[in-house]
Structure 1
Amino acid sequence: MTSTRFTAACIQMRSGRDVLKNRDDAVALIREAAEKGAHFAQTPEMTSLVCRERAEMFEKVGPQESDPVLAALREVAREKNIMIQIGSIAVKEGDKVANRAFLIDAGGEIVTSYDKIHLYDVDLPNGESWRESATYTGGSTAVLAETPWGYLGMTICYDVRFAALYKALAENGASFLTAPAAFTKQTGEAHWNILHRARAIETGSFMISAAQGGLHEDGRETFGHSIIVDPWGRVLAEAGTEPGVILAEIDPALVTEVRGRIPTLKNARSFTIETVSASEHRQAALA
């Protein structure tokens, strides 16, 4: 890890059913971020397409090699000399789709990719039902990527609820953790901010997460509130619900400082769990 500070940008979007429009929106916002001084820009989950209907999605997505959003964002990375994390795009994988994130260096080369591990299958009290596993494949490998400023841990959306993933990434060297998302409005209002602050505090890491926000063409409503949190749990920047750019200066030295003050990663110990039956204890006492 270096002590070089950098400016991170979260690109908040409201992606719809038109892949090429979504591409153009992302490119324009990344250019705006670069012009404002960003060295690193992250787009949200499902940058390329937000579409509820499975059949329509399969008509509009293809393999990674021919994806127009990936190609365009590689080009803008070269053009603006900026590192870009694509929060995710839909990539066809057999009879399903991979929810895949990409890290692109400032020369436009793909550093690595990550497939979302945890899939959101749930029935909500408001009547909404989500079955990501019906459409998406689940990843099985966590990804830690080297950047000019330190190691970046890549996750996506629902992953943020699984603290062990972030602990493992931090223990293996991540200073910056990410969870670009398309959180629902209902769950976002309840949990988005606190989950990000918790993951940052637990690991002594920065959390950088771009989000989808607002009412989409397919009828879903996402929470927005793209967020950047420092290792002490302070919110450095947070968006509202409209598309746009937020920026924050990231000081990698703060990771070392905070982990030195509260060394939870070093102090963690393995343990076993013992299950005790109260009825057995009562019977033993009476014997």
Structure 2
Amino acid sequence: MAIEDDKRVRAAAIQMVSGPNLAGNLAEAERLVAQAAERGARLVVLPENFALMGRREADKLDVAEEEGSGPIQDLLAKLAIRHRVHLVAGTIPLRNGTPGKVRAACLLFGPDGRRLARYDKIHLFDVGVSDSEAYRESDTLEAGRRPVVVDTELGRIGLAVCYDVRFPELFRGMAEQGMEILALPSAFTAVTGAAHWRTLVTARAIENLCFVVAPDQGGRHASGRETHGDSLIVDPWGIVLDSRAKGAGVVVADLDLQRQAEIRRRFPVLEHRRI
């Protein structure tokens, strides 16, 4: 049955264990996107920092690109064209005119290779996970300011990144813009992931009656950092459709937008808000 008739979208979340070698990471992304397309995915979402997980946070500055130009963006456009997919490109570092800082940009490419949307990560991960593990993304990243929901032939897709998942008001605003599918590229730490990852992702799906395609980094990186993994796809009722615990691989599920519309009709929580 044609996708227009039954309103099913096959989506894939790509789990990676990216390192400090840009060329190696891009080759791995290329391999996994091809694998997702072979399994019938029309929407493919890469994880946060898929192109580089350096030994130092500042390493991203060395591979940063200008908007619309550079080897990372060129490859992403080619992959979207080659596999005829909508490709959400995790995050890549894009220069924004601020010395010593870049934007963590999540880009959406259409099957013709054209960029359909750009979302810059709004909430930056400046936290102490433990006495020995702390992060200050604001040292090298400049925060974005604008939520993004884009209309595509697959449905209305919202873009968010990792730490954003802890701020439910962001997603409620996106739901008001008609978001049906949330792409959530992430690189959750092992500690916070074990405690909160699946709960937060599932909560965002249930609250907003949306599908969530949530790829994560999943393993130990050259910097010594360990990421949680458990990339997953969740439906609007909070059911996990597919997941992967650790290591590089592909998570695939069919998103039934017709069923989603029926859930929203029968359970109109988005219309019942009073505050």
**When the two structures are aligned, how many residues end up with a matched partner?**
270
Equivalent residue for 2:28, pick from 7, 25, 45: 25
> Which residue number corresponds to residue 87 of structure 2?
84
1:82-122 alpha-carbon deviations (Å, 9 max, x no partner)? 11011111123332011000000011110010000001111
Deviation, 1:126, is 4.3
Deviation, 1:68, is 1.6
Q: Tell me the TM-score normalised to structure 2 length.
A: 0.94
> Which residue number corresponds to residue 130 of structure 2?
125
Matched, 1:153 2:149: no
SS in 1 for 2:130: coil
Equivalent residue for 1:62, pick from 50, 62, 65: 65
> Which residue number corresponds to residue 249 of structure 2?
244
Contact 1:104 1:110 in 2 (8 A): yes
Equivalent residue for 1:183, pick from 174, 177, 188: 188
Q: What is the aligned-residue identity percentage?
A: 39
Matched, 1:234 2:242: no
Contact 2:129 2:192 in 1 (8 A): no
Equivalent residue for 1:36, pick from 9, 32, 39: 39
Q: Which amino acid aligns with 1:195?
A: L
> Which residue number corresponds to residue 178 of structure 2?
173
Query: Cα gap change, 1:78/1:124 in structure 2, threshold over 3 Å: closer, same or farther?
Result: same
Matched, 1:137 2:134: no
> Which residue number corresponds to residue 273 of structure 1?
none
Deviation, 1:44, is 0.3
Rg larger in 1 or in 2? 1
Gaps of 5+ in 1: 271-287
Contact 1:48 1:90 in 2 (8 A): no
Matched, 1:223 2:228: yes
Deviation, 1:64, is 3.1
Contact 1:97 1:136 in 2 (8 A): yes
User: Displaced runs of 4+ in structure 1, greater than 3 A?
Assistant: none
> Which residue number corresponds to residue 98 of structure 1?
103
CA distance in 2, matches of 1:256, 1:55: 44
Contact 1:228 1:238 in 2 (8 A): yes
> Which residue number corresponds to residue 265 of structure 2?
260
Deviation, 1:73, is 1.5
CA distance in 2, matches of 1:54, 1:207: 28
1:211-234 alpha-carbon deviations (Å, 9 max, x no partner)? 111001111110011110000000
1:144-196 alpha-carbon deviations (Å, 9 max, x no partner)? 01121210110000000100111111111001112110000000001110111
Q: Which amino acid aligns with 1:59?
A: D
**Which region of structure 1 is more displaced relative to structure 2, 186-195 or 66-75?**
66-75
Matched, 1:75 2:42: no
CA distance in 1, matches of 2:62, 2:92: 14
Matched, 1:111 2:116: yes
> Which residue number corresponds to residue 48 of structure 1?
51
CA distance in 2, matches of 1:85, 1:125: 31
**Which region of structure 1 is more displaced relative to structure 2, 173-182 or 91-100?**
91-100
CA distance in 2, matches of 1:216, 1:39: 29
Gaps of 5+ in 2: none
Contact 1:91 1:100 in 2 (8 A): yes
CA distance in 2, matches of 1:156, 1:55: 19
Contact 1:20 1:68 in 2 (8 A): no
1:50-72 alpha-carbon deviations (Å, 9 max, x no partner)? 12424433223232343322211
